[in-house]
Structures are given as structure tokens and as C-alpha cells.
Amino acid sequence: MTSPLRRPLIAGNWKMNLTLAQSAELARAVAAGAAAASGEVAVCVPFTAIPVVAEVLRGSPVRLGGQDCYWEAQGAYTGEISAGMLKDAGCRMAILGHSERRKLFGETDEHVNRKLAAVLKAGLTPIVCVGETLDERETQKTWRVLETQAAGALKGFAPADLAPVVLAYEPVWAIGTGKTATPAQAQEAHLFLRAQLKKLYGEALAAGTRILYGGSVTADNVDVLMAQPDVDGALVGGASLKKDAFLRIMGFQAA
């Protein structure tokens, strides 16, 4: 079970799914179930759904997040959304560096680093994603990838700056594939990331930083994943779109 220093966080990533009506319906169910949750709950929704979901969640403990943002505050950046715009629309969190952004849209560690600066400046909680591909795992590059991505994303900040940051370990080979890292694999990766935080920024930050697991989290496997001492929550993709499954994940029962 996670340390009492770190409140568990279950964050749903809706990706590019749901109409406005469907978004409002699912948000109402999540808000209604929040009282029975085993920790903090957030939903990260498409940009178009943010105002609708913000209104539904008003007065509930469920935190609202965006799935990405741009690092500039404003300007001629067609199609982009700033951290300030997310906050103005009702968001309190933002996912940064998701593997789909890296793979499909060419995001680099430098991009994630610049976005992190913007999100922290806006006063949002960043969920910074790191993780290896199947090829990288099979060629024994997992630790190098995690070390490089974590250091690159967090580069240039003081420990105090990074206090709000949430990390998410998402093995790319387990996202949307139905494959899940074993509890031992998840714990090993989370422990490695915590050791990297300690090396770069000291014991206090390492001990207090929440590290989520993301990669085909389901109602069936969440309990055993959350029983690992360095797994502090979950970044949930497909299962977050299914009301009953997500409510069960929210109410995980770690052994």
C-alpha cells in the first residue's frame, strides 16, 4: 500500500472520446461515486468537453484536467490550448508527455519540460508521463529510457518547484493492448523512478511524489496494483469510459 505521505490518485484519461452529452452523463456518475472513492479522483477530458464537465463537477471533490497544453501563454499558435486557458475553463490538472503524444505527434522530453514550466506557472497540477516501448523493454533499455525521460522532463527546476508534480509510469506496450505490467514490474519501475527523484532532487521530494501506473488498468487488476508500496494511483484509459468499471477502480481495495 502507498505511503501515508502520498494520497492515492485515480485519474481517468478519456482521450478522444464521448460527445458533450455523454461526457456530462459520465461526469455525473463519477461525481456521485466520489464519496466512496479510496483516494483523490480526477478526469482528464477532451478540450471541447471541459466547460460542460466543469459545470457538472462544480462542488464535487473530483478534479478536472486537460489532456495536453502548449507552453506559450498566448499567440498565433493555431489549434493549441494554453495552460492558462485550461485553468480559466475550470481545469486543475493537465496530462503532459503521454506516450500517444510522443509517438503520434513527435513530442520530445524538451517539449514536455517546456509544457511543465507553463503548467506549474499557471498553478495546475501536472501529470508527467514516462514509459518504455516493447522494443525498449526487450532490449534491456527500460531503465535508460525512464532515467532520460524523467530527467529531461524535470530539468531546470528546484525541488520546491516540483512539489505539485505527479509522475505516471505507463509502459507503452501495455496501453490499450490488454497487457498489463505485472505488479512486480510496476513496483520495480516505480521504485526506480523514486530513486531517480531522490538522486536528482533529494529524499523529501522523492518520498512525497505520487507515481501513478498507467497501462490497461481495469477493475480486475487495480487492487493488486495498488497494493504495491510505490504505486500511488492509476492513470486509467479505456476503463475510465465505462461507468461501472471506473467506479470500481475509484474504490480500489489494496491489500
Share of the chain above pLDDT 90, in %: 92
Question: Does residue 50 have a pLDDT over 80?
Answer: yes
What confidence tier does 1 reach under pLDDT thresholds 50, 70, 90? low
Q: Is residue 170 among the annotated active site residues?
A: yes
In a domain, 47, yes or no: yes
Is the separation of the CB atoms in 250 and 9 below 8 Å? no
Q: Is 61 among the domain residues? A: yes
Is residue 190 part of the annotated active site? The answer reads: no
Whether residue 123 is contained in a domain is answered as no
Which residues partner with 127 through β-bridges?
95, 166
The one catalytic residue among 107, 132, 136, 170: 170
Distance CA 165, CA 123 (A): 11
The catalytic position among 98, 107, 132, 190 is 98
Top pLDDT among 116 and 180 is at 116
Can you tell me the distance from the alpha carbon of 167 to that of 164, in angstroms, rounded to the nearest whole number? Answer: 10
Give the integer Cα–Cα distance in Å for 160 and 154. 12
Whole domain around residue 50: which residue ranges?
37-67
Give the residue with greater pLDDT, 12 vs 179: 12
Considering all CA atoms of the chain, what is the largest pairwise distance in Å, rounded to the nearest integer?
A: 51
Give the chain's domain count: 1
Per-residue confidence (pLDDT) for residue 178, from 0 to 100: 79
Q: Cα 219 vs. chain centroid, distance in angstroms?
A: 18
Task: Tell me: pLDDT of 2 over 70.
Answer: no
Give the pLDDT band (50/70/90) at residue 255: low
Banded model confidence at residue 4, pLDDT cuts 50, 70, 90? confident
Average pLDDT of the chain?
A: 96
Average pLDDT estimate for 121-141: 96
How far apart are the C-alpha atoms of 99 and 136, rounded to whole Å?
13
Interval 193-203: pLDDT, tens: 999 999 999 99
Angle at 47 between CA 42 and CA 51, to 5 degrees: 75
pLDDT at 145 over 80: yes
Residue 46 in domain: yes
Is residue 252 assigned to a domain? no
What is the structure's pLDDT at 39?
97
